[in-house]
Structure 1
Amino acid sequence: MSMTSIGRLLSRGHYSAPPPLDLSHNIVLYLEGISVSFDGFKALNNLNLYIEAGELRCIIGPNGAGKTTMMDVITGKTRPDTGSAWFGQTIDLLALSEPEIAQAGIGRKFQKPTVFPNHTVFENLELALAGERSVWKVLFAKLSPSQIARIDQVLETVGLKDHRSTQAGSLSHGQKQWLEIGMMLVQEPKLMLVDEPVAGMTPQETEKTAELLVSLAGERSVVVVEHDMDFVRSIARTVTVLHEGSVLAEGSIDKVQNDPKVVEVYLGE
Structure 2
Amino acid sequence: MNVGRLLGQGQGQRSRAPKLDLSHNIILYLEDISVSFDGFKALNNLNLYIEAGELRCIIGPNGAGKTTMMDVITGKTRPDVGSAWFGQTVDLLTLSEPEIAAAGIGRKFQKPTVFPNHSVFENLELAMAGDKSVWKTLIAKLSGEQLGRIDEVLKIIGLTERVEALAGGLSHGQKQWLEIGMLLMQDPELLLVDEPVAGMTPQETEKTAELLTSLAGKHSVVVVEHDMAFVRSIARTVTVLHQGSVLAEGSMDQVQNDPKVIEVYLGD
TM-score (norm 1): 0.97
CA contact under 8 A between 2:215 and 2:221: conserved in structure 1? yes
SS at match of 1:194: strand
Do the aligned residues in 1 keep the contact of 2:129 with 2:187 (CA within 8 Å)? no
Matched, 1:18 2:12: no
Query: What corresponds to 2:179 in structure 1?
Result: 180
Could you say which residue in structure 1 is the equivalent of 2:258?
259
Matches within 5 A, 1:112-127: 112-127=111-126
Looking at structure 2, the residues matched to 134 and 164 of structure 1 have their Cα atoms a distance apart, in angstroms, of: 23
Q: What SS does structure 2 have at the residue aligned with 1:193?
A: strand
Tell me, yes or no, if the aligned pair for 1:130 and 1:138 is still in contact at 8 Å.
no
CA shift for structure 1 position 179: 0.1
**1:6 maps onto 2:19 in alignment:** no
| Post-superposition CA distance 1:30-75 (Å, at most 9, x none) | 0000000000000000000000000000000000000000000000
Over 3 Å counting, the alpha-carbon distance change for 1:9 and 1:268 in structure 2 is same
Contact 2:74 2:100 in 1 (8 A): yes
What aligned pairs does 1:241-260 form with structure 2 within 5 A after superposition?
A: 241-260=240-259
Q: Is the 8 A contact 1:256 1:262 kept in 2?
A: yes
> Post-superposition shift, 1:14?
4.7
Map of 2:49 onto structure 1: 50
Question: 4+ residue stretches of structure 1 with deviation over 3 A?
Answer: none
Q: SS of the residue aligned with 1:248?
A: strand
* Partner Cα distance (2:151, 2:261) in 1: 43
On the 8 A contact 1:128/1:183 being kept in 2, the answer is: yes
Q: Distance in 1 between matches of 2:153 and 2:170?
A: 17
Gaps of 5+ in 2: none
Q: 1:256 is paired with a residue of what secondary structure?
A: helix
Instruction: Give the whole-Å Cα distance in 2 for the aligned partners of 1:180 and 1:33.
Output: 32
In 2, are the aligned partners of 1:31 and 1:85 still within 8 Å (CA)?
yes
Q: How many equivalent residue pairs? A: 266
1:35 counterpart residue number: 34
State the TM-score, normalizing by the size of structure 2. Answer: 0.98
Q: Could you give the per-residue CA deviations for residues 92-115 of structure 1, whole angstroms, max 9, x where no partner exists?
A: 000000000000000000000000
* Equivalence map 1:123-162=2 (5 Å): 123-162=122-161
* Percentage of pairs with the same residue: 80
CA contact (8 A) 1:121 1:163 kept: yes
The residue type equivalent to 2:6 in the other structure is L
1:126–1:151 Cα contact (<8 Å) kept: yes
Whether 1:213 aligns to 2:212 is: yes
Give, as a single letter, the amino acid of the residue that structure 2 aligns with 1:168.
A
Name the structure 2 match of 1:67: 66
Task: Show the counterpart of 1:101.
Answer: 100
Distance 2:143 2:136 in 1: 12
Matches of 1:130 and 1:183 in 2, distance apart? Answer: 10
Letter in structure 2 aligned against 1:259: D
C-alpha distance in structure 2 between counterparts of 1:117 and 1:78, whole Å? 29
